[in-house]
Amino acid sequence: MTEPHPLSRLDETVHQRARLGILAVLSERTDADFSYLKRALALTDGNLGRHLDVLVGSGLVALRRGYDGRRTRTWARITPAGRQALLTELDLLRSIAALVEAARDDEG
């Protein structure tokens, strides 16, 4: 029996472009506020909010609300489960890239 292609194991929660971006940015930092994520990923408020809701609901990101002076702010941080999900996704993408490279080498 053939083993399933790595593509079949991609996690749709993580693989979506904006969510993958959020996890990648958060993996580089201790945390990031909503405004930083919005600018870094070129997302609208509503779009970023919806993707954060999905990631929080999946346990991949945690939010903290507080104040910066008088302004209410929201900070996000990647959870250990989120970091593991990101690493798993990257490993799968590397596997897919290796298969594509091997096929290209076989053609040449």
Query: pLDDT for 57-94, tens place per residue?
Result: 999 999 999 988 888 999 999 999 999 999 999 999 99
Whole-model pTM?
0.89
Q: What is the CATH number of domain 11-106?
A: 1.10.10.10
- Would you say 47 and 86 are in contact if contact means Cβ atoms under 8 Å apart? no
Query: In terms of DSSP H, where are the helices of 28-79?
Result: 34-41, 45-57
